[in-house]
Every structure is written in C-alpha cells, then in structure tokens.
C-alpha cells in the first residue's frame, strides 16, 4: 500500500482533531494516511471547555470524540512534537526533536497563542495566560499555594473583559479567589454585545461577586515583597491589590512557521488561504485560527471545524467552499447566559432593533430585523438565552408573527411557530442543517433523538442546539406518521415517569388494576418489571408479594442473578466492603459444599456462581442464619457502596469513609429504582474508591464531604459532577435522599443517573435547585418517602425463607422436585468449574455433571 499519500497536520488542537475525524470518516478508499504533530503532550482536547477543568473535571474529560480515532492504523499522533521547520521545496517538516516527516500534503493547524500587551511586570511570577490545560493547571497550583502562603483568600485580577476574560474570572472564583475583571473599553464582551447587553452583563456578573472595572488601562504590574505579583497600577495612577493576574487580552495566530517558510501572511497575521483553505502553495492548506480566510483570522471553533471539513472535502476531490464565518455564540459564563448571533450590532442599512430589558431579573434581549420588521438579521441575548437555539437558524428568514414573542419571557405571548428552511444551520459546532436532521429521519430511518445524534452528529459537541434538534425530529416524525412516542410499550401509552405519577396518584397496588385503569392488554416483559419496580419504589413491599412475583424480571423473580446456562449467582451484602472473617469463611464453606465458582466483584463483595434454582433457599438459609442478608446484586436497586479504608487506618484519610459507606449502604439497601444504583465513598481527595465513577460519589474534604452525582462506568463512562460541597453527614444523607428519590420518580425505564441528569431540562443546576433549594416545594415529600423506605426495609431473602408458599417457586421441576436440571454441564478451569461450551459438550470433553456436585438437595 505504498501508493497511499501522506498528510501531515501541524498542530494538535480541536481543528486538527476535526480534520482527522472527517478524513477518516470520509476517506473510504484509504487514499491518505495522516500524521498529527502536536506540541502539547496530549491528544487534542476540548479547549472551549477548559474552565470546566476547575469544576471538578479531569483532563481526560476534555477529550474530543472517540479515542479509537487515534488507534486507526492510518492515523498517527505524535505528542510533544512541535514543528520547528518546514521545507516546502522538499516537502519535509522537522520537529523539535529533529525528527523529519515527508508529506504529500501539509495542513497548518497551529491555532493561536494568548497575546499579552507589553506591560511592565508581565513576567512576574503569578502572571498567567489562559489558553492550554498546562496554563490552567499552573494557575490552579499557584492560586492554591498562594492561599496557603497568605493565609487568606487570594485576590485575583483578570485583564481583559471579553469572553476569555470572563471565563478566567469564573475559573478564579472556582478556585476560591476574589476576582476583578479589568476591561480597557466601556463594556464587557464588547465584540459580542452592545451597550445595553453590556450593562445587563455587568450587573449579573457583579451579583456573582466578580468586580468589574471598565474604561481602565493597566500600566504596570508591581511585585510584593516576596517578588510575586502584588498590585496593579492603572493609567490614571490608581492602584489595585492583586495576588494573581491573568491576561485574557485576546489571541493572535501562530503563523511564525508560515512566515519562516515564506507562505503568504495576512495584514494582521495569519496564513492566507482561499475559500478552499488552500494557501498559495498547492501542497499546503491552513485551517482554524491560524488561517486568514476572507481577510481575517477567526477565533471560534465552528468556523474552524468548517475549514477542516472543507480541506478534507477538497483533498477527496470535493468542491465545497467556505461560506463565510458564522460568528454566533452562546455561552454560559459564571452561570450567566450570553448569546449573540447574526448582525448583532445592526450594521445592515435600515435595520431595526427591538429590545427588551428587565434590570431586576438581569435580562437583556435584542432582535435586529429588517426595516419591515419581518426578517430576522441578528440578536443579542443576555441573562436568558433560551430562545437562541430557535432564533439563530432563523437569521435571514421571515420571523412569522410578532417578533415580540421571542423577546418577552417565555409564555408571555405565544412564540410564532416557524418552520426552519432546510439550509438553516442548527448545530453550528458540527455544521448540521435542519435539512440533514430531517433527512436523518425521512431517509435514514432514525426514529429518536439518540439515533439522529449518532447519524448527523448534531448536538454532540456543546449540546446547546439539542432542544431544537429534538423539536425538528419530533415534527418530522409526526409528518411521516410516526409519533415521537414516549410510550413504554404497546400496553402503556405513557413514559415511566408518567406511569409512576399515575400509580402514585391512583394508589393502585396490583398489576391487573393498574393495567386495567392505565393501560391495555396483558402486559409484557417491558411493562411488567417497570410496574413491579414502581410499586417496590413506592411501597417497599416484598418483590414476590401477592401478584408481584410474575411481574419481576429474570433476576428479581428469584432474587439471584441468572447466568448464561440458567443457573444463578449469589451475592450476600457486604456493606462498604467491610467483612467479618467469620463471614468470609462461611462464604468459602458454602462455595466448597455447593461447588460454586467464586469471584470477587467490582463492588467489593463476593459472587458465588452456578447455584441452581432449587439450591438457592439452602444457600440463603445458611447465609441468613449467620446474619448475612441479600446484596440485591440482582435488582434494579442499590447495589453497593464502595469505599476506601479511610481515616481509621489510612495515613492520608481525612474522614471515616468506611463508616460513611456502611451508613449509606444500610440506608439505601433494597431501594428499587429505574436502573441499578452504585455509590462510592473516598476518605480523601486521592479518591481511591473511584467514587466519581458512581451514581453518587461522596469524597471527604477537610471540612466534611463533597457529594458528586451522575457518574457512570459502563458503555458511556461519565464522571460524577459536584452537587454540594463541604457538607456534614446529615446533609450528605439529606441531599442523596432527595437526589435518588427525585431520580426514581422522574427517570425513564432503564435510564441511569448520568443520562437522566444530562437530559433533565436545565441539567444539574436545575436538579440542584430542586433537591437543595427546594424550588419545586417537593423536598418534604421526597424526604418523607425516603424515610418510609428506610423504616420499612426488611431482608427479602429472610422473608422468603419464612414463607413456604414463596419457597415453592424454588423447585427444579413441579413434578420431580428432587431432580436437578439434567442439561447442565461443566468443565474445570483453574481449579473451579465453568459452563461447558457447545463444542465441549459435543466432543464429550471431561464434563462435570450436576448430580456429582449435589451435596444439599
């Protein structure tokens, strides 16, 4: 395969990532192999989300796209490989280590650097810029150290009141520093918002405790007596104390390689490219912030991604051209929504501006329309940007109806219902138009939001367009006769959360009554377990009570986990992973007597495999007699609370994590929920219990506990996000009680906390308002519900052992109860047994027949 051409990408940022992703997605004939030379010691990451690095996310959370991209044999990523020389004549680039790369085509994607105005003292320790993970990490370390040294909160100053400056101010606040934003011009974010918007923004930002100084030029940064940053001196000779300074005064293209190798450079910098992203050298393209396209460098991700797509398209023989930059942006800075789109400053001749301002609520909205007030040209939204997703794609289209509908608070007057034109861009991160979303439904057969996301990539980056995508998908499905149904199954025409409400309100307690009142037919393997789970969540009655047994899914039905051969595994509860030696010995004895395969689980307990249905009561009799109880490993319910050893033994622990884990596990044991629940408790910030991979993670701090929610391992791993910090034990229980109960009431069937939280309208912030600030006034009800659960807990295995009628379910054959299932066959492996494969059965390899293992019948 030597005919392959080699593309070398200089730079490893977001646009380089998009280029490679698009190339590998579209180059089906494997025409090209690609090498990415990145300066940073890591794969491309989401620089836009950099600030979230402070809100508890790890660097790897910022990863872009699928990590498998970098394992593609035709993709090579060289980290820490800054290019120092380009020889265009011989088509060779050389990196900082002297390694050379020969290219057929070169893609310049070197991005920008953070520019700082020449200022006295800008080189002092404690002056930072805000561009890379390393910048942000260094800032974090400095601020934390400075606080310790000073013994008081750190005073921070951010020079620059643009988008990046406000990000940096937010980051300083997250680090517990006071921050002041110093802006040269008369308002914050002067590139995006007008005077009115700037005023609203300043008010909102100040309410959050960030000071704002506009019309202020910084002349010098002076050191304190330790030689670190101490104060700022302004042009008017006024001074301000500052222990740390962040420059956020804009970016400049990193075009030095282009200059040195003689590429054409724009007037204000940047490598000049045409509308196909090609430079004056046909073997070199430039994309992203370094490219000077249509006369300017653009510091936004969406146009950068567009350029990457165009460059790929051209390399593959396509004919796409750069349509002009969409400089629309929607941001959440320090929790304040700011959006600006289209002709935000009304530069179109004759343009009219419609504004709405509510200084009390801190809302400012402006729409720019044509002189006949019919066509939308642009707008600015501050404080409430909920209309952004709908409005931005309408730029250039008729608004239809009274534009005031978009300005007044939602619900005041009806918003006109406008059908977006097919070419309207909906997802600007990934360049997805309304038309391609529609065709995903009509031509590609997608029937839900998840399908459309996977198919078009719409909404997979920043997610701000998801409400609109959902609406388009819904409309399109409706048109094609398919309703975007949230029906559970053919028997219930409602979602799980609606059904939960219906059952709660109607107080019906049997499936037959419930399906008669709220559904139709006889039910199925979808709705029966759902109703069984809802009843268990509501009343905490035994899962095998009355007509409940027939509702339970495979595992709950016999309170054990069915394995591939129809036998079960048994997991007794080991709260917090703390176990008595007597119990360990007992588990070992049972395993030996019944010939069970034993394995330690991920949740710090022991799993015994290969127990037949008829053996379960005998096994559980011995466990229950010794004081052990069901571990609910089989239930859509609380599984385990994993813990590290904590302060009682560990040299580093700051709280008793085992004690907390046991308290949590005993509190929530047996709690039935839409999906399984896993918790974790770590005794210090080292996080040995990996609590942030759990639905609820509790991590010790010097002052108490931080509670994280919505973590997930599994197919789509997610780190849990911070819900509350530095709270005491009682508050830990209280917020988790409410969070779990609210989840149980409102999540979909088999929806874990991570996607529930993500899809909940308003996200975690909204959930926090509900469960911490009681914004819906339901906390008393949630508390009472959880208290009922805790009080009414009983070990469900113990209850069954005391009930001969339910025990009768645990027989192998109704007409031959002493006969074990004759079809079971095992082979030995590493001293234990496992189910024989079909081939082993057929070949008659050494099989262990079930009867030979019989000890207890």
Q: How far apart are CA 172 and CA 166, in angstroms?
A: 10
Stretch 222-251 residues interacting with another protein (CB under 8 A): none
For another protein, which is the closer residue by CB, 558 or 709? 558
User: Which residue among 52, 386, 751, 809 contacts another protein (CB under 8 A)?
Assistant: 809
Bridging pattern class, strands 296-297 and 291-293: antiparallel
Stretch 37-66 residues interacting with another protein (CB under 8 A): none
Contact status: 554 vs another protein (CB under 8 A): yes
- Distance between alpha carbon 363 and the CA centroid of its chain, in Å? 28
- As given in the structure block, the two tokens for residue 407 are 């300005």
Strand partners for 93: 86, 101
Concatenating the DSSP letter of every residue in 481-542 gives T------SBTTB-S-HHHHHHHHHHHT--SHHHHHHHH--SS--TTHHHHHHHHHHHHH---
Determine the length of the chain.
Answer: 857
For another protein, which is the closer residue by CB, 2 or 838? 838
Question: Taking Cα atoms as reference points, which of 813, 804, 793 lies closest to residue 543?
Answer: 793
Contact status: 514 vs another protein (CB under 8 A): no
Half-sphere exposure at residue 231, Cβ-oriented, CA atoms within 13 angstroms: 9
Contact status: 845 vs another protein (CB under 8 A): no
Contact status: 90 vs another protein (CB under 8 A): no
Which is it for the CA torsion 621, 623, 624, 625, positive or negative? Answer: positive
| Smallest gap from residue 482 Cβ to another protein (A) | 19
Q: Which helix (H) or strand (E) holds 138?
A: helix 133-150
Contact status: 415 vs another protein (CB under 8 A): no
Q: Which helix (H) or strand (E) holds 724?
A: strand 721-727
- Per DSSP (E only), the strands in 774-837 are 826-829, 832-835
Q: How far apart are CA 383 and CA 189, in angstroms?
A: 14
User: Which residue among 92, 296, 413, 524 contacts another protein (CB under 8 A)?
Assistant: 524
Contact status: 813 vs another protein (CB under 8 A): yes
- Span interacting with another protein, options 315-323, 401-409, 542-550, 737-745, rule CB under 8 A: 542-550
Three-class SS of residue 391? helix
- Span interacting with another protein, options 166-174, 475-483, 562-570, 848-856, rule CB under 8 A: 562-570
User: Which residue among 562, 650, 750, 848 contacts another protein (CB under 8 A)?
Assistant: 562
Q: How far apart are CA 600 and CA 608, in angstroms?
A: 9
Contact status: 651 vs another protein (CB under 8 A): no
For another protein, which is the closer residue by CB, 750 or 790? 750
Contact status: 547 vs another protein (CB under 8 A): yes
Question: Taking Cα atoms as reference points, which of 34, 430, 105 lies closest to residue 278?
Answer: 105
**Binding pattern to another protein, positions 467-506, x when CB under 8 A?**
-----------------------xx---------------
Which region holds residue 731: left if phi is over 0, alpha if psi is between -120 and 50, else beta? alpha
Interface size with another protein, residues (CB under 8 A) = 36
- Span interacting with another protein, options 145-153, 362-370, 478-486, 821-829, rule CB under 8 A: 821-829
Q: How far apart are CA 653 and CA 656, in angstroms?
A: 7
- Span interacting with another protein, options 147-155, 316-324, 434-442, 522-530, rule CB under 8 A: 522-530
Q: Which helix (H) or strand (E) holds 708?
A: strand 704-709
Contact status: 549 vs another protein (CB under 8 A): yes
Long-range contacts of 449-456 (CB under 8 A, 24+ apart): 449/473, 456/427, 456/430, 456/432
Contact status: 447 vs another protein (CB under 8 A): no
For another protein, which is the closer residue by CB, 275 or 840? 840
Phi first, then psi: what are they for 598, rounded to 5°?
-115, 140
For another protein, which is the closer residue by CB, 144 or 541? 541
Q: How far apart are CA 565 and CA 611, in angstroms?
A: 11
| Smallest gap from residue 848 Cβ to another protein (A) | 17
Residue found by looking up tokens 């974090």 in the block: 140
Strand partners for 296: 293
User: Which residue among 148, 225, 237, 564 contacts another protein (CB under 8 A)?
Assistant: 564
For another protein, which is the closer residue by CB, 413 or 549? 549
For another protein, which is the closer residue by CB, 240 or 447? 447
Q: How far apart are CA 573 and CA 607, in angstroms?
A: 10
Contact status: 354 vs another protein (CB under 8 A): no
Q: What is the 3-state secondary structure (H, E, C) of 589-609?
A: HHHHHHCCEEEECCCCCEEEE
User: Which residue among 138, 550, 585, 776 contacts another protein (CB under 8 A)?
Assistant: 550
Contact status: 811 vs another protein (CB under 8 A): yes
For another protein, which is the closer residue by CB, 511 or 668? 511
For another protein, which is the closer residue by CB, 167 or 553? 553
- Per DSSP (E only), the strands in 359-500 are 363-369, 376-382, 425-427, 432-433
Q: Is-contact 77 83, C-beta < 8 A? A: no
For another protein, which is the closer residue by CB, 65 or 610? 610
Which region holds residue 58: left if phi is over 0, alpha if psi is between -120 and 50, else beta? beta
The shares of helix, strand and coil residues in the chain, as percent rounded to the nearest 5, are: 35, 25, 45
- Span interacting with another protein, options 325-333, 388-396, 515-523, 603-611, rule CB under 8 A: 515-523
- Span interacting with another protein, options 323-331, 400-408, 471-479, 549-557, rule CB under 8 A: 549-557
CB contact set of 509 (below 8 Å; sequence gap of 6+)? 535, 539
Contact status: 510 vs another protein (CB under 8 A): no
- Span interacting with another protein, options 51-59, 780-788, 816-824, 846-854, rule CB under 8 A: 816-824
Contact status: 823 vs another protein (CB under 8 A): yes
- Span interacting with another protein, options 217-225, 376-384, 518-526, 733-741, rule CB under 8 A: 518-526
| Smallest gap from residue 283 Cβ to another protein (A) | 47
Contact status: 553 vs another protein (CB under 8 A): yes
For another protein, which is the closer residue by CB, 558 or 574? 558
Contact status: 521 vs another protein (CB under 8 A): yes
Q: What is the 3-state secondary structure (H, E, C) of 534-548?
A: HHHHHHCCCCCCHHH
| Smallest gap from residue 542 Cβ to another protein (A) | 15
- Span interacting with another protein, options 132-140, 460-468, 563-571, 646-654, rule CB under 8 A: 563-571
Phi first, then psi: what are they for 70, rounded to 5°?
-80, -5
For another protein, which is the closer residue by CB, 316 or 524? 524
Contact status: 821 vs another protein (CB under 8 A): yes
| Smallest gap from residue 192 Cβ to another protein (A) | 48
- Span interacting with another protein, options 171-179, 329-337, 551-559, 572-580, rule CB under 8 A: 551-559
**Binding pattern to another protein, positions 581-620, x when CB under 8 A?**
--------------------------------x-------
Bridging pattern class, strands 376-382 and 363-369: antiparallel
For another protein, which is the closer residue by CB, 424 or 836? 836
Question: Taking Cα atoms as reference points, which of 673, 678, 703 lies closest to residue 692?
Answer: 678
| Smallest gap from residue 540 Cβ to another protein (A) | 22
For another protein, which is the closer residue by CB, 85 or 821? 821
Concatenating the DSSP letter of every residue in 734-790 gives HHHHHHHHHHHHHPPTT--HHHHHHHSTTHHHHHHHHHTS-TTS-HHHHHHHHHHHH
Q: Which residues bind another protein (CB under 8 A)?
A: 490-491, 512, 521-525, 528-529, 547, 549-551, 553-554, 557-558, 562, 564-566, 613, 808-809, 811-816, 819, 821-823, 838
């Amino acid at each position: 395969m030597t005919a392959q051409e080699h593309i070398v990408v200089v730079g490893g940022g977001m646009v380089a990532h998009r280029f490679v992703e698009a190339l590998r997605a579209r180059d089906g004939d494997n025409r090209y192999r690609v090498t990415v030379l990145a300066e940073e010691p890591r794969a491309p990451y989401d620089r836009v989300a950099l600030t979230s690095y402070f809100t508890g996310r790890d660097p790897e959370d910022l990863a872009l796209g699928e990590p498998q991209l970098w394992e593609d044999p035709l993709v090579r990523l060289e980290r820490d490989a800054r290019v120092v020389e380009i020889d265009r004549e011989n088509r060779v680039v050389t990196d900082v280590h002297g390694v050379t790369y020969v290219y057929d085509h070169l893609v310049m994607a070197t991005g920008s650097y953070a520019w700082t105005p020449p200022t006295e003292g800008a080189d002092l320790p404690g002056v930072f810029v805000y561009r890379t993970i390393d910048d942000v990490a260094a800032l974090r370390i400095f601020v934390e150290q400075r606080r310790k040294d000073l013994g008081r909160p750190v005073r921070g100053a951010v020079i620059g009141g643009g988008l990046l400056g406000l990000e940096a101010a937010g980051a300083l606040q997250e680090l517990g520093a006071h921050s002041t934003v110093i802006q040269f011009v008369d308002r914050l974010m002067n590139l995006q918002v007008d005077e009115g918007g700037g005023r609203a923004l300043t008010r909102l930002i100040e309410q959050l405790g960030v000071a704002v100084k506009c019309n202020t030029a910084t002349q010098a940064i002076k050191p304190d007596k330790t030689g670190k940053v101490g104060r700022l001196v302004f042009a008017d000779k006024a001074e301000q104390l500052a222990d740390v300074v962040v420059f956020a005064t804009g970016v400049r293209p990193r075009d030095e390689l282009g200059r040195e190798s003689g590429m054409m450079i724009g007037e204000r910098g940047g490598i000049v490219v045409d509308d196909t992203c090609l430079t004056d050298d046909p073997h070199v393209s430039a994309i992203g912030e370094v490219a000077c396209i249509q006369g300017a460098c653009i510091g936004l991700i969406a146009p950068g991604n567009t350029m990457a797509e165009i460059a790929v398209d051209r390399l593959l023989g396509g004919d796409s051209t750069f349509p002009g930059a969409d400089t629309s942006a929607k941001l959440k800075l320090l929790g304040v929504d700011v959006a600006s789109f289209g002709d935000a400053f009304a530069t179109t001749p004759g343009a009219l501006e419609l504004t709405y301002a509510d200084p009390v609520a801190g809302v400012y909205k402006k729409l720019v329309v044509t002189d006949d007030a019919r066509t939308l040209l642009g707008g600015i939204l501050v404080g409430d940007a909920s209309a952004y997703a709908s409005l931005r794609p309408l730029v250039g289209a008729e608004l239809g109806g009274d534009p005031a509908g978009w300005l007044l608070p939602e619900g005041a007057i009806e918003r006109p219902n406008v059908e977006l034109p097919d070419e309207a861009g909906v997802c600007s991160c990934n360049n997805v138009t309304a038309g391609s979303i529609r065709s995903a439904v009509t031509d590609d057969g997608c029937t839900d939001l998840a399908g459309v996301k996977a198919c078009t990539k719409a909404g997979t980056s920043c997610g701000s367009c998801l409400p609109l995508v959902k609406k388009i998908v819904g409309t399109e499905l409706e048109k094609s006769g398919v309703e975007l149904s949230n029906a559970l199954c053919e028997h219930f025409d409602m979602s799980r959360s609606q059904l939960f409400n219906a059952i709660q309100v109607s107080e019906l307690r049997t499936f037959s009554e419930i399906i008669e009142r709220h559904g139709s037919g006889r039910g199925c393997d979808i709705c029966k377990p759902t109703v069984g789970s809802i009843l268990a969540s509501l009343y905490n009655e035994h899962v095998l009570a009355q007509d409940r047994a027939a509702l339970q899914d495979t595992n709950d039905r016999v309170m054990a986990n069915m394995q591939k051969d129809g036998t079960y595994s048994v997991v007794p509860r080991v709260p917090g992973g703390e176990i008595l030696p007597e119990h360990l010995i007992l588990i070992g004895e049972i395993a030996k007597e019944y010939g069970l395969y034993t394995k330690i689980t991920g949740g710090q307990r022991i799993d015994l495999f290969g127990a037949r249905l008829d053996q379960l009561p005998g096994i559980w009799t011995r466990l229950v007699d010794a004081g052990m109880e069901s571990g609910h490993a089989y239930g859509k319910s609380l599984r385990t609370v994993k813990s590290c050893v904590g302060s009682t033994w560990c040299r580093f622990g700051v709280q008793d994590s085992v004690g907390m884990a046991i308290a949590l596990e005993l509190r929530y044991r047996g709690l039935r929920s839409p999906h399984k629940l896993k918790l974790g408790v770590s005794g210090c910030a080292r996080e040995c219990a990996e609590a942030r991979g759990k639905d609820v993670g509790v991590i010790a701090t010097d002052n108490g506990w931080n509670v994280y929610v919505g973590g997930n391992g599994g197919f789509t791993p997610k780190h849990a996000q911070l819900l509350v910090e530095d709270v005491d034990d009682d508050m830990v229980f209280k917020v988790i009680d409410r969070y779990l109960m609210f989840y149980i009431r409102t999540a979909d069937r088999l929806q874990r906390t991570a996607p529930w939280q993500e899809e909940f309208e308003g996200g975690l912030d909204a959930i926090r308002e509900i469960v911490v600030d009681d914004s819906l006034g339901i906390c008393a009800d949630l508390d009472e519900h959880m208290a009922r659960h805790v009080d009414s807990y009983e070990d469900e295995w113990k209850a069954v052992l005391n009930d001969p009628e339910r025990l009768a379910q645990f027989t192998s054959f109704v007409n031959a109860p002493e006969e074990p299932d004759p079809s079971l066959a095992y082979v030995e492996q590493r001293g234990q047994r496992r189910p024989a494969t079909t081939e082993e059965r057929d070949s008659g390899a050494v099989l262990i027949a079930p009867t030979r293992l019989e000890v207890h019948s």
